[in-house]
Structure formats: C-alpha cells, structure tokens
Amino acid sequence: MKLKFFRTAFASLLLSATCFVNVANASLITQWADSVIDYSSEWSSTEWSAAQVLGAPDTFSYGDIATSWAPSSSDGTMEYLTLGFNTAVYANGAMIRETMGNGFVTQIDVLDTLDVLHTVWSGTDTSLAGVPFNFTVNWTQTNYLVKGLKIHVSTDATASWEEIDAVQLSGYTTSVPEPTTLAIFALGIMGLASRRFKK
Ligand SMILES: [Ca+2]
Ligand SMILES: [Ca+2]
C-alpha cells in the first residue's frame, strides 16, 4: 500500500517536471517580416513597394503613405504578398497592419520549410476603417515549421487604395506536445517507475 502510493507520487512528480520543462522550452516569439519572397504587383520599386512592409511599423497615420505597400491597381484586382521571416516557427497567428482601405485581406496561407503553402485563414476582414489597424488572426498551432506568410488582398474592399505597413508572425520555436502525446509519455514513465520499485 505504502509502496503503491510512493510509486504514484513519484510518477506524478516526474510527469509534472516533464510538462514544466516542455512548456519552458516552448517560447512564443513574434517577428516582423524580414524578406519579400513574391508579390503580385507593387506601386513602384521604391515608394509603396513590397519592401515597405518589411520590419517594424513605420506608417503612423491612416492614409495614402509611401512607407506602406500598395499594389499597382487601386480597384478590380486580387493581389498577394509572400513574406519571409528570420526564424521558422510552429506558427499560431499573424498580424497585418492595415493603413489604407482597411478590410481587404481575404486569405492567409503559411509557407512551410519545404515551400508548401497551407491556408490557415479565409473569411471577412473586420478591420476598423479610418485608423491604422492591426488585423490579428489566430489559428491552431501548426505541427510543421513555418518560414513565410502569403497574404491575399482584394483591391475591391474599398473605393480607395488598399495598403499594408507591416506584417508580424507569431509561433513557438519548439513543438508543444499534444495531450495524447503527454498521456502516452506519462504511461511510459509510470511503467519505468513501477519496474524500478519491483527490483
Ligand atoms: Ca480599392
Ligand atoms: Ca512599412
């Protein structure tokens, strides 16, 4: 009886320690886009270029401002930007800073390290109009590493230009174990523990 109690307590302690280590290792990082991989169009190669979305925000007012990307057409087209990030992560969210014609994102794909695109969100972009707005989307953490984002834009969202100042990716540097994985791991530890006590 006493041994059984001790065994269970020992196993629980080990499992708690394991969970703690896993959570501690899985640090959430957020990063700004670091490179332009591809784009449908850009207003020019300097002002309103695709490269204007790189790095931290630098468009601090709402309006037609050259430090944001604008496609070559203000209406009637479907556009996209594919952006790279310095550190590949198990991604769980993105933030797109809209600074003109807000409400234009139609779909977000993540680009994995084997260059395969996966759609993680599509729907209605509910960004507030008239102010720089951080459109934030979250999804279930990917079980593969993500190195880029493809953002789909409809220029028919508003009668004005549609413009993006900056894009952020969030995710974990290590894969967070799923509950089933943890349960199997716990069973393994209990098995090991009971074998040790039987000797
Ligand atoms: Ca438009
Ligand atoms: Ca910018």
Please tell me the distance between residue 91's alpha carbon and the centre of ligand 2 in angstroms: 22
Amino acid at 118: H
pLDDT digits (tens, 9 = 90+) for 46-70: 999 999 999 999 999 999 999 999 9
Residue 22 structural domain: 1-26+176-199
Cα 8 to Cα 5, 65, 188, 189: the distances in Å are 5, 64, 13, 10
| Ion ligand 1, residues whose Cβ is below 5 A away | 74-75, 155, 158
For 113-143, the pLDDT digits (tens) are: 999 999 999 999 999 999 999 999 999 999 9
Does one domain contain both 98 and 181? no
**Residues 15, 67 share a domain:** no
- Model pTM score: 0.80
The structural domain count of the chain equals 2
96 and 163 assigned to the same domain: yes
- In this structure, the answer to whether residues 114 and 72 fall within a common structural domain is yes
Least distant ligand from the CA of 165: 2
Are both 9 and 89 inside the same structural domain? Answer: no
Residues 144 and 156 in one domain: yes
**Whether residues 14 and 73 fall in one domain:** no
Domain identity same for 168 and 180: no
At 170, which CATH number?
2.60.120.260
Whether residues 150 and 52 fall in one domain? yes
Each residue's pLDDT tens digit, 74-86: 999 999 999 999 9
Same domain membership, residue 189 and residue 138: no
Shared-domain flag, residues 19 and 32: no
Residue 137: phi and psi, rounded to 5, are -125, 135
Tell how far the Cα of 50 is from the centroid of ligand 2, in angstroms. 9
Give residue-wise pLDDT tens across range 163-185. 999 999 999 999 866 566 667 66
Whether residue 161 is found in the same domain as residue 186: no
